[in-house]
Structure 1
Amino acid sequence: MVTLLAKIFIKDSEDKIKQREAYGMLCGVIGILFNVLLFIGKFLAGTLSNSIAITADAFNNLSDAGSSIVTLLGFKLAGAKPDTEHPFGHGRIEYVSGLVVAAAILLMGYELVRDSIGKIMHPEETEFTLLVAVILIASILVKLYMAYYNRAIGKKLDSAAMKAVATDSLSDTAATTVVLLASVFTHFTGIKIDGYCGLVVGLLVGYAGFDAARETLNPLLGQPPAHEFVEKIDEIVMSHSEVCGMHDLIVHDYGPGRQMISLHAEVPAEGNILELHDVIDNIENELRETLGCEATIHMDPVVTSDEHVSETKAAMVSLIKAIDEDLSIHDFRMVSGGTHTNLIFDILAPFGFRLTDEELLTEVLQSVHEHFGDNYYVVTKIDHSYI
């Protein structure tokens, strides 16, 4: 159904932001329609059976309809063009809308838990009919379908908001299944477990809200880029023979499809500066066309024609790798004087490295002293990276 509607209402376009907005609004409208219908059906079933669990599940669907409205508005506002107050666009509104959805899910979970505890303390008779069973089974199937298409399009668009909606739909499926099984159990045994099942539903909804909040908070707080994205950047940059190395990559995320990157590219100090600048311009354009991100590249000149410098750098790399394979160096330079030689470079260590910066620096100084002797001084700083 969603695929068919997408073919009808969403036109192919080179503008990925507009495509994203169109998919988000389509899924939002469908989500509102489905959830309102499910609320009406479950509320009717809950009223007929006098079941707090089914009624609670009905109001959970009503909150989902509200969440779909928030998601729809989020995609619409996120597609707004940059302005003087928001020069990098409004893409992060999509993350905010996902967070609002998560907050609504958490609130509904709390309400369901509270009402269910009251039902446990004061149980009431419930009545289970074929109509109630049909409504609940239909609800499970619809929610499974909603989880499927929201997850699929969420992956297609890499949308945290839509993934949050998909997670919520799966939790609804589990919750309604629990309610259905409990209703059948009570009907055949007479044991009143309606309140306990409502409690389970509330806890499942609350967990889904927590998970959705985590998914949407991470990009707002500044999560590292996907490993595959970093690998593609490295592949593009290093495919140019003029580039000797790459480091200090920073990815700035202003919302899905609105990424800006900056990095340092090492180039031969002996090369023609105008020709090298042209190469860097070409790399920036290639990154923009291939990955859809704006790129700013800083050129770092390094000596490549001096055999002694190359040998010393190779030895330094070996010493660093002997400490830990996850370490690397960049911006290596040698400055020779009358009494000693300075080895100048930066050390790149991953976040959460097993040694503190002070411990790592001590090991490096000791290794250099043992290998090169007293006439070599180390001038270095330690960087941390997600690469």
Structure 2
Amino acid sequence: MSALRGVWLSITAYLLLSMIKLGAGYLFGSEALLADGWNNASDIVASIAVLIGMKISLKPPDLNHPYGHSRAETVSSLFASFVMFAIGIQVLFHTATVLLSGKVSSPPLSSAWVAFFGMIVMGGVYLFNYRLAKKTNSLGLMAAAKDNLSDALVSLGAFIGIIGAHFNMHWLDPLTGFIVGLVICKTAYDIFKDSSLMLTDGFDKEKLNDIEATIQNIEGVETLVDIKARMAGNDIIVDAVVEVAPHLNIKEGHTITDKIEAQLEKDHDVRNATIHVEPGREITERGSVNE
């Protein structure tokens, strides 16, 4: 699966940058650079979890998993969010302690260029993964790409904080580290929210409205009686009940369901749709309605 290349690239970049930033942060005494390094370290765990989830999701359906294993990717993302929360809280506690103690120092200007280098690297990784996620339609890789972008912005913030501390605004370096901790927690919350929504069979209302409109516009569909949708990893599963003309035979009704399924796959990439057909109401010559 080509999307796995993007995850491997993220892991390699995070591993390299976390070692460089943490080493330079301890060496130069930069709280912002240390926080940025811990941010990248948390992303290693998150990316590995997504990688494992992607590999499991590629397994074919079996007796215990008739819908396949695609939700494994979502479970791994949920686990990653807990790890990121823990690291984000640790960064917040440490930088807040430094700020309140007043024992702040001015790291050398060379540490700023380490942060700037990290920003350039993560910016490049983001562009690669974003384009690959669009090409492969991988939700997991798209989430990773958004995380890559936030990491690039975090490194930019660390760069600004170190530069400010160099010009006698010593408090700016630990303050930037504290902000980085907030960004880690915010990213963890977003991943947790999306993952928990999918695992509890939640579905985006606007997307569901679009699917409803597609079904109602299919020739032969008189009424859309009921519709439900949920996510299984990257796959959308739709269950719908439609009414058709009561005089149609089984073959003609089945032809309409084939049209619905084909249109859903074309317009919304829905590959798993269960369409139940019911006879609609028949209007007699006198204008009365027969069920």
TM-score calculated relative to the size of structure 2: 0.85
- What is the CA-CA distance between 1:193 and the residue it aligns to? 3.5
* Offset at residue 285 of structure 1 (A): 5.6
1:28 paired to 2:24: no
Candidates 267, 284, 287, aligned match of 1:306: 284
Cα shift readout 1:338-364 (whole Å, capped 9, x = no counterpart): xxxxxxxxxxxxxxxxxxxxxxxxxxx
Question: Is 1:129 aligned with 2:109?
Answer: yes
| Residues 102/158 of structure 1: CA separation in 2 closer, same or farther (3 Å cut) | farther
Deviation at 1:24, TM superposition (A): 3.1
Do the aligned partners of residues 191 and 289 (structure 1) sit closer, same or farther apart at CA in structure 2, a change above 3 Å counting?
closer
CA contact (8 A) 1:98 1:164 kept: no
RMSD: 2.8
1:48-197, aligned counterparts within 5 Å?
48-120=27-99, 121=101, 123-130=103-110, 132-189=111-168, 191-197=170-176
* Residue of 247, 252, 268 corresponding to 2:245: 268
> Number of matched residues?
288
In structure 2, give the amino acid aligned to 1:283: K
Distance 1:309 1:157 in 2: 53
> CA offset at residue 122 of structure 1?
5.3
Partner of 2:222: 244
Deviation at 1:154? 3.9
CA deviation digits over 1:171-194, x for unaligned, max 9?
323322222222112212263433
SS across alignment from 1:161: helix
Q: Give the secondary structure class of the aligned counterpart of 2:167.
A: helix
Uncovered stretches (5+) of structure 1, i.e. residues with no partner: 1-21, 311-332, 336-387
Aligned to 2:24: 45
| 265 and 39 in structure 1: CA distance in 2 versus 1, 3 angstrom threshold | same
2:249 maps to amino acid: I
1:285-308 Cα offsets, whole Å, 9 max, x none, are: 635764442333322222344254
What amino acid is the match of 1:273? N
Q: Judging changes above 3 Å, is the alpha-carbon distance between structure 1 residues 302 and 140 closer, same or farther for their aligned structure 2 residues?
A: same
Aligned residues of 2:7 and 2:144 also touching (Cα < 8 A): no
Checking the alignment, whether the CA contact within 8 Å between 2:119 and 2:156 is kept in structure 1 is yes
* 1:148–1:212 distance in 2 versus 1, CA, 3 Å: farther
Q: Aligned pair in 2 of structure 1 residues 303, 236: CA closer, same or farther (>3 Å)?
A: closer
Aligned: 1:282 with 2:282: no
Higher RCO (C-alpha under 8 Å, 6+ residues apart): 2
Q: Separation in 1 of the partners of 2:168 and 2:265? A: 65
Q: For residues 252 and 192 of structure 1, what CA distance do their matches in structure 2 show?
A: 48
TM-score by length of 1: 0.66
Number of the residue aligned with 1:329: none
**Are the aligned partners of 2:214 and 2:264 in contact in 1 as well (CA < 8 Å)?**
no
Counterpart of 1:264 in structure 2: which amino acid? V
One-letter identity of the residue aligned with 1:260? I
**Secondary structure of the structure 1 residue equivalent to 2:75:** helix
Tell me if the contact between 2:243 and 2:279 (Cα under 8 Å) persists in the aligned partners. Answer: yes
What runs of 5+ residues in structure 2 fail to find an aligned partner?
none
Looking at structure 1, the residues matched to 233 and 159 of structure 2 have their Cα atoms a distance apart, in angstroms, of 40
Distance 1:249-1:141 versus aligned 2 partners, 3 A rule: same
Q: Of residues 190, 211, 222 in structure 2, which corresponds to 1:211?
A: 190
Do the aligned partners of residues 289 and 119 (structure 1) sit closer, same or farther apart at CA in structure 2, a change above 3 Å counting?
Answer: closer
Q: Is the 8 A contact 1:28 1:72 kept in 2?
A: yes
Instruction: State the 1:139 CA deviation.
Output: 0.6
